[in-house]
Structure 1
């Protein structure tokens, strides 16, 4: 098997349900080891709390899929990542190959019931050298984020549909009653119980120090400046 096909297989395997590949132990408070090898978004740590971190991310650029309706985050992420992987391998209007980065993120708008379809947008972090002019591609769009705050919870293992909801609920519980929780609610004017992001960093061949994250984004310039 060629190195290219082995690399592609490894990326796809990393998105398989964890019923196929066993979980590793939990981890918290780690700087993702993947980010020592490939480019990741940069941030400042504002506060480390009990079960969460508050980060201020610098401006970032993402190439993103259209919203996908599915009952499974794992399936939606896997299927969408095929499109994003083709994009970085040169299936774009510039026919430009783009370096792999981390994390791959899935923005989640949860459904109202356990058997209803949620909405997912899957995104690839664009390397800094490509951010000024990301290659366009059919079926994909560019998201440009200004500086943004995120409440973050880490968890390990291979992402599963059941665990993601539990980790998002645990992050909300850890923030309850804090200024961070209030800021998150303010940033969700249409539905204060919706939307979070799942960030995945690792290859499937890494069984130690696996790092995934739940992000809840918010805008809180005045309150943070007062801390």
Structure 2
């Protein structure tokens, strides 16, 4: 179960509108999850479906990150966007990916970070900005609750709380608490989004 010292809040942001489709696209041998359409995003497989949510396993992946401390999320996103636009040691330009992760630690604000996913074929080009860093994240299991509509942060927090209660009722262990505003819309003018909240799982992966 979740302990107060391990509580972390994640806000997952899709900066650019992404169409929802059942289609899956491959890039560089990587099978793109359908929800991302042509936007590159971390690969996962569904371990188990429950009523109202599912348990996913995300594969190991590379991310580029910067601290949110003393900055706002827009400034951090701009810094990471500059990296993606070629401000790295190799001068590689990387197409925008999703999701963008804003990770908030409820214990220590200095640990708050913003992360962009890096496609597997580009690795992690060394950043030229010393406030930007590469991080390899190992395989991670995540409980995911999806819902539609255009909602604010409070609604996402409520959905994360509801998911935590559902997991508690099923006696499913999880480490930390995460809520997300990962949004995918049908077009750039739509006000209706596909959304997800995440809770980091600790259930044995062979179940």
> TM exceeds 0.5?
yes
- Aligned-residue offset at 1:123: 0.9
Q: Kindly report which structure 2 residues correspond to 1:52-71, keeping only aligned pairs within 5 A, or say none.
A: 52-68=53-69
SS of residue paired to 1:83? helix
Provide, for residues 67-100 of structure 1, a one-character-per-residue CA deviation record: whole Å limited to 9, x for no partner.
4368xxxxx4333212111111122233321111
Shift of 1:12: 6.0
Structure 2 counterpart of 1:45 = 46
Residue 77 (structure 2) aligns with: 81
Give, in angstroms, the shift of residue 63 of structure 1.
0.7
Q: CA RMSD in A?
A: 3.3
Deviations 1:110-160 (A, max 9, x none): 47xxxxx796321111011112x4332421122211111001112334553
Within the candidate set 125, 129, 139, 1:134 is matched to 125
Matched, 1:224 2:205: yes
Matched, 1:109 2:105: yes
Q: C-alpha displacement at 1:219, in angstroms?
A: 3.9
Bigger helix fraction: 1
Partner Cα distance (2:192, 2:117) in 1? 21
Residues 1:90 and 1:158: Cα distance change in structure 2 (over 3 Å): farther
1:43 CA drift (Å): 0.9
Aligned partners of 1:195, 1:68: CA distance in 2, in Å? 20
SS in 2 for 1:151: strand
Structure 1 SS opposite 2:127: coil
> More strand by proportion, 1 or 2?
2
Q: TM-score, normalised by structure 2?
A: 0.70
The Cα of 1:45 is off from its aligned counterpart by: 0.5
* SS of equivalent residue, structure 1 residue 176: helix
Tell me whether 1:212 sits opposite 2:195 in the alignment.
yes
SS at match of 1:149: strand
Match of 2:28 in 1: none
Query: Could you say if the C-alpha distance between residues 83 and 57 of structure 1 is closer, same or farther in structure 2, counting changes exceeding 3 Å?
Result: same
Structure 1 residue 35: Cα displacement: 1.6
Separation in 2 of the partners of 1:172 and 1:197? 10
Distance 2:189 2:49 in 1: 26
Q: Secondary structure at the match of 1:105?
A: strand
Question: What is the rounded CA distance, in whole Å, between the counterparts of 2:193 and 2:97 in structure 1?
Answer: 16
- Provide the rounded CA distance (Å) in 2 between the counterparts of 1:106 and 1:125: 12
- Contact 1:103-1:124 at 8 Å conserved across structures: yes
